[in-house]
Structure 1
């Protein structure tokens, strides 16, 4: 691999002149600049990003921690963040914690060793150690999707409770009276908030909220829980699944049980992953504004990187109910 010294020798200039051209730190005549650029091309010279970052204390690299890269919701959210970072000239390092708080802490330290300029974190659960760890990281930070009251930093979330309320109210307005909820893990704040929204809508309508089953935000989990629900003597005629992957599992379980969706069972999900619109039937779901979440989170981080702002900015974006073919009035209505 060619060195800066070899480039200087090929161009017939000093090493400092090559450095000034690379870093734009001093005026260099057009003739000298052209000779240096020609020499770099001829030698296939690649500047050392590490050396440049040490000199300027900036790596143009951002770290992103996500809890589960097998969940399409996070993959689609990351795409929005990456697009915005790329257009701004930043590289991105992704770390997947697999919803493991220990792995998450290890990866956060790895990201700091890589000298990232800032972090966007989608945390794995409510680890009691995480706020303290994040507070010690001396880089700009934005939390997405999950937040802690004890940590003062920029956050971008969706109104999970309102989204679940909209989904449940939709089923109630269709005429359903026995609406089961398949939640995500209880230790995750979005799960608890979506359960609260489901309960709020039922309470408002004077209905019981006694059919709550814990899922794990996977299609397999949604399938298994729905199979259990459909075997009950008083099976529900509508299911609100707290994410689309579990709703897709519920559709599969209904099909295996010989039930027609939505004639025998209405199903509503949460997230609006791309696959939701292409299910059979297309899935009614609560859309999180993934593109906007990614853009807002990235802009908040850029603001921290390039401007002085002390007060934390906490943004809650509004979800939207997308009615498709998986929900309909019960046959008895």
Structure 2
């Protein structure tokens, strides 16, 4: 079977250039993320490539440009509904800049040491790391291998080189403390997430710190593991205690969703018997069976900043450290009386 050029071989960059009426270098620029080329010329090249069935040789381009066009997304447990939303949005925004994504997960028995070799060998141009243990260690390794690195919604605990964008976790925790105290609650509990994850530490520090500033001790603390089951079990324990809390602040929304069901399983009502607040504002939080009052992260702002800074670092070759905090706000629904 002959190809469209009649030679029996696949279409080449020369074929695309001839069909589009442009130079070979223009075709190369059209398929290179961030290269200087007019929109009109780029469209002509893509139209010609589609008509011929041409796809660029990514390996050859990588060798020529010293870029792979790949950004690694390194996530923890993506069963948390927050992170599939984030992965989708990050991938879409990176695609607008011409980058493909390589999703890698680090959770359970999969460690940083398991995934680091594939990221390095794939010669990723950049990496976005979120919600994993040893984020600093992986980030430093990729940084030393020439990749631009952004920590998403966490800060570097030990590295002075890695850039990060995160929401105001501490301020979010403080705002929940003020919100519940101002409503007259005094017996307040906290259901934590994964203990070593930076977000749960910051949210708890803000919440408990503000309670103490206002002369209130944390009534109870449970471990929720950032999961529905963790939230359900923790809330069930709190709801069946001899003296139960009046309100519970959960480290994230999926924990809070589980907590609502846990309180109901104990034969109690939300919010009449126990009020519940989450953190993230995932889509499920707004569903009528839950009506979760929560701390909203501005995911759009987090994602826009994260991707745009990373892309600029990749294209410029500069690795100037960038730290950004994105404000949060409380969204009131029906889970607090």
| TM-score (norm. length: structure 1) | 0.85
**Deviation at 1:127?**
6.2
**Deviation at 1:218?**
0.2
Larger Rg: 1
**Deviation at 1:310?**
4.7
After TM superposition, list the pairs within 5 Å mapping 1:1-333 onto structure 2.
7=11, 20=25, 22-23=27-28, 41=51, 44-98=53-107, 103-126=111-134, 129-130=137-138, 132-151=140-159, 152-307=161-316, 309-328=318-337
Kindly tell me the number of residue pairs found equivalent between the two proteins. Answer: 316
Flag the structure with more relative contact order, 1 or 2, with Cα contacts below 8 A and sequence separation at least 6: 1
Alpha-carbon distance in structure 1 between the residues aligned to 2:180 and 2:309: 36
RMSD: 3.1
- For the structure 1 residues 236 and 249, does the alpha-carbon distance in structure 2 shift closer, same or farther, using more than 3 Å as the test? same
> Is the Cα–Cα contact under 8 Å of residues 77 and 291 in structure 1 kept in the other structure?
no
> Is the Cα–Cα contact under 8 Å of residues 179 and 238 in structure 1 kept in the other structure?
yes
- For the structure 1 residues 69 and 310, does the alpha-carbon distance in structure 2 shift closer, same or farther, using more than 3 Å as the test? closer
- For the residue of structure 2 that corresponds to 1:143, the secondary structure is strand
> Is the Cα–Cα contact under 8 Å of residues 159 and 319 in structure 1 kept in the other structure?
yes
> Is the Cα–Cα contact under 8 Å of residues 227 and 254 in structure 2 kept in the other structure?
yes
Alpha-carbon distance in structure 2 between the residues aligned to 1:276 and 1:119: 29
In structure 1, runs of 5+ residues without a counterpart are 26-33, 329-333
- For the residue of structure 1 that corresponds to 2:248, the secondary structure is strand
Alpha-carbon distance in structure 2 between the residues aligned to 1:156 and 1:183: 22
Alpha-carbon distance in structure 2 between the residues aligned to 1:179 and 1:172: 9
Partner of 2:40: none
- For the structure 1 residues 109 and 147, does the alpha-carbon distance in structure 2 shift closer, same or farther, using more than 3 Å as the test? farther
Partner of 1:28: none
In structure 2, runs of 5+ residues without a counterpart are 31-43
Alpha-carbon distance in structure 1 between the residues aligned to 2:29 and 2:140: 39
> Is the Cα–Cα contact under 8 Å of residues 123 and 146 in structure 1 kept in the other structure?
yes
**Deviation at 1:147?**
2.4
For 1:103-141, what per-residue CA distance to the aligned partner results, in whole angstroms no more than 9, with x for missing partners?
333323212212221111114124674454344231111
Alpha-carbon distance in structure 1 between the residues aligned to 2:258 and 2:63: 49
For 1:257-289, what per-residue CA distance to the aligned partner results, in whole angstroms no more than 9, with x for missing partners?
221211111000011111101142400000111
> Is the Cα–Cα contact under 8 Å of residues 7 and 18 in structure 1 kept in the other structure?
no
For 1:229-267, what per-residue CA distance to the aligned partner results, in whole angstroms no more than 9, with x for missing partners?
111111111100111011001110111122121111100
**Deviation at 1:309?**
4.0
Alpha-carbon distance in structure 2 between the residues aligned to 1:313 and 1:39: 38
- For the residue of structure 1 that corresponds to 2:111, the secondary structure is helix
Alpha-carbon distance in structure 1 between the residues aligned to 2:216 and 2:49: 76
> Is the Cα–Cα contact under 8 Å of residues 131 and 197 in structure 2 kept in the other structure?
no
> Is the Cα–Cα contact under 8 Å of residues 199 and 209 in structure 1 kept in the other structure?
yes
Partner of 1:31: none
Alpha-carbon distance in structure 2 between the residues aligned to 1:215 and 1:174: 25
